[in-house]
Structure 1
Amino acid sequence: MVEIDQNDIKILEILRKNSRTSYTSIARELKISEAAARKRIERLIKAGIIKRFTIDYELDNEIRAIVMVKTAPQIPTPEISKKIVKISGVETVYETTGDYDILALVRGNNISAINKTIDEIRSLQGVLSTTSTIVLRVWF
């Protein structure tokens, strides 16, 4: 297991806000050398702490929804999550505690596309029910 210090936490925060931030900018903000920033990031990648570099985007006519899923105890939640994440329109899947076992973030060009994705989720073996809510605004 890799030990994480305050500089590593700051690097993760910087990259979470903008994964394209340069090594030079990160080094300047942390008051370390560029080589040290590069090595820290490489170590975080090797350790599996940084899993991927990606973008967040928002299109004008795009609709986002949060779909909360209750599952049957006979089928392991990770098995259902792996199927949900492969469905077109599903952006991210979280396994959660509480009333719902899985939370999926869904994107679509219109309500029809969102409904199609939700119907696919509902059709999976082990999905007992879903509750959905439309996202009105996203803040980064």
Structure 2
Amino acid sequence: MDNIDYGILDLLRQNSRAGYGDIGDRVGLSASAVKRRVDRLVADGVIRAFTIQVDPAVDGMATEAYVELFCRGTVAPEELKRILSQVPEVVDASTVTGSADAVVHIRSRDIPSLEDALERVRIAPSVDHTRSAIVLSHLIHRSYD
């Protein structure tokens, strides 16, 4: 990977539908050279997918919260993954340092469905308690997946 590859990735992150010619104009390559580089980045597994992002409000999932998860004793990450995978409203989850064992991102239709999803997380035998923060507005979003 060189600086041109990183430039191509940055432009595709901003608009995955950008044309090779448009990208080439920005990074100083021909459209065919950009296509060869993109094909190589895909073949090497650097680019894993081209996708769309749908506005969650249009999808009916505009209510969201970040939830700190506190467990009883030591719980393996695979066990947390098993528990959280059973709750479809969980869109992202990570183990973390600090007093919480994990941070969970939940999206739901409304507050009652958010409360229901939280309850399904809380009833797991290894979960001691949670602490939630409901999202009011988004300030910055950068996707690096």
Q: Which residue in 2 is equivalent to 1:84?
A: 84
| Residue 20 (structure 1) aligned with residue 17 (structure 2) | yes
- 1:129 match: 129
Matched with 1:101 is 101
Residue 13 of structure 1 aligns to a residue whose secondary structure is helix
| Distance of 1:43 and 1:73 partners within structure 2 | 46
Question: Residue 118 of structure 1: SS of its match in structure 2?
Answer: helix
C-alpha contact (below 8 Å) 1:81/1:95 kept by paired residues: no
Deviation of 1:31 after TM superposition, in Å, equals 1.7
Q: SS in structure 1 opposite 2:22?
A: helix
- Counterpart secondary structure, 1:84: helix
CA deviation profile, 1:26-56 (whole Å, cap 9, x unmatched) = 2222122323333333443444443443415
Structure 2 unaligned regions, length at least 5: none
Tell me the CA shift for residue 85 of structure 1. Answer: 4.0
How much has 1:65 moved relative to structure 2?
Answer: 1.0
Paired residues for 1:1-140 under 5 Å: 4-52=1-49, 53-59=51-57, 62-72=62-72, 74-139=74-139, 140=141
1:125 shift after superposition:
4.1
Range moving further from structure 2, 50-59 or 111-120: 50-59
Distance 1:125 1:19 in 2: 42
- For the pair shown, the structure with the greater C-alpha radius of gyration is 2
Identity of aligned residues (%): 25
Moved more, 90-99 or 126-135: 90-99
* TM-score calculated relative to the size of structure 2: 0.73
- RMSD, aligned α-carbons: 2.7
Normalising by structure 1, we get a TM-score of 0.75
How many residues align structurally?
137
Deviates more, 1:33-42 or 1:107-116: 33-42
Question: How far 1:86 moved relative to its partner?
Answer: 4.7
